[in-house]
Amino acid sequence: MTKKYFGTDGIRGRVGEHPITADFFLKLGWAAGRVFASEGHGFVLVGKDTRISGYMFESALEAGLTAAGVDTRLLGPMPTPGIAYLTRTLRAQAGIVISASHNHYYDNGVKFFSVQGTKLPDKIERKIERHIDSPMTTVESSKLGKAKRLVDAAGRYIEFCKASVPTRLDFSGMRIIVDCAHGATYHIAPHVFSEVGAEVVTIGAEPDGLNINDECGATKPEKLAATVLAYRADFGIALDGDGDRLVMVDHKGEIVDGDELIYIIAKARLDEGLMSGPVVGTLMTNLGMEHGLKKLGIDLLRANVGDRYVMEMLAEHKGILGGENSGHIICLDKTTTGDGIIAALQIMAEMQSSGKNLHELKSGMEKYPQVLVNVKTNKKINPAEDEGIQKSVKAVEKKLGDTGRVLLRASGTEPLIRIMVEGRQEDSVKNYAHQIAEDVKKAMGA
């Protein structure tokens, strides 16, 4: 059964447009509270990133939870993975994150974590949705929930992050730049990296409610690259607005994406004898990573795009490492969800243990050029069932052989056919992508 409000990563949209409105969040808080109250007794954690609308939605959720008779612990600005961690260790009934992750300030959203620090099961989300569509009531006054602020939330999470790498490692020789994207890690990430011994220069750590992810962070690492070169730093760390993505920059100013970082961590785990199961990527994971892992004797499985699907496949195949090229990196041997700070610490630990810099570590994997072309559609078309499109795809796949691949998919949110071609020669890849795009247009009668 499809869900009405919840997507693959909670509920997200433009602030002021349904369902990202104060009245909906009030009802959502009440509906979630009703469900959590029926599941057992306990409190719910509520945290947020730094966008200005977070104040409004925090208050609305608190009021709804209170009306349902559920106690609330308010965390204030906290990274999404930090809220997952605190939900688990404080044994809260659930954790609620108010964030639109890497989106701009005018978007917002909400996602939930279970007491295990993982995404809520579908059946619980469906229960919440059923309550949203029923009349709101308030419990008798003596049974109203109470709200408190948890003042030591940041400190607890900082210590957890630091504990993800061995204390014997000395990072005192490292000069690093940390870009917090003016987001939820602004008061946490600089402390973590400096307290493990690194010399830290911080950028993107002055949130004003409107500048989250604005030309900075994991989605825009160019400013970080320039800062790394200007300070002659060893490397740079770019997080996104809610701290669950990581992109890095090496000492030459070259961007190191999620696929390359996952490869480095996988090789490190293998060298330590700690690798377990396959690595799980997505349909968009670079073919170079698949080939690089194969040389190490590690299998790569591909899930649909989205960290929820990566998590499901990791659980199914008993893996410990997975993620996306966008920088979602899941180290299940360290935590329960994607965590940019913890992933960065794993890379730093490998640099220190191996004596290699980031540029040398990523060189074990050859990243293939990847070209994306979007074709607007004027009618519903399934590229997998269209004979003309499939003929074009197969012709390109034959030319690429085992050194490239083609991926076509209809967008789930826009009237687009997304075409991705990947291979060793960038010029050829571009030509193939545009050739297929023209054939898609012909199939639509354009």
Catalytic residues: 101
Work out the widest C-alpha separation in the chain, in whole angstroms. 73
Q: Which residues contact 101 (CB under 8 A, 6 or more apart)?
A: 9, 12, 80, 109, 240, 241, 242, 244, 245
Say which amino acid occupies 436. Answer: I
CA distance 12 to 107: 7
**DSSP code of residue 21:** S
- Residue 180 has φ and ψ, to the nearest 5°, of -90, 5
Helix and strand tally (H, E) in the chain? Answer: 14, 18
DSSP secondary structure code for residue 401 in this structure: G
Helix/strand/coil for 370: strand
DSSP secondary structure letter of residue 435: H
The tokens 């490397």 sit on which residue? 235
Q: Tally the C-alpha atoms within 13 A of residue 418's C-alpha that lie toward its C-beta.
A: 13
Could you give phi then psi for residue 38, rounded to 5 degrees?
-75, -20
Cα separation, 190 vs 202, in Å, equals 7
**Residue 380 DSSP one-character state:** -
Is 101 within any annotated ligand binding site?
Answer: yes
Q: How far apart are CA 287 and CA 243, in angstroms?
A: 26
Distances (CA, A) of 294 to 180, 266, 422: 34, 11, 18
Paired strand residues for 352: none
Residue 446 CB neighbours (<10 A): 11
User: Binding site annotation covers 152?
Assistant: no
Q: Is 299 annotated as a binding residue?
A: no
Q: Is 383 helix (H, G, I), strand (E, B) or coil?
A: coil
How far apart are the C-alpha atoms of 331 and 344, rounded to whole Å? 11
133 is in an annotated binding site: no
Cα–chain center distance at 282: 13
Across the beta sheet with 370-376, what order do the strands follow? 370-376, 416-423, 404-410
Tokens at 306, concatenated: 């989205």
The binding site comprises: 101, 240, 242, 244
The binding site for Mg(2+) comprises: 101, 240, 242, 244
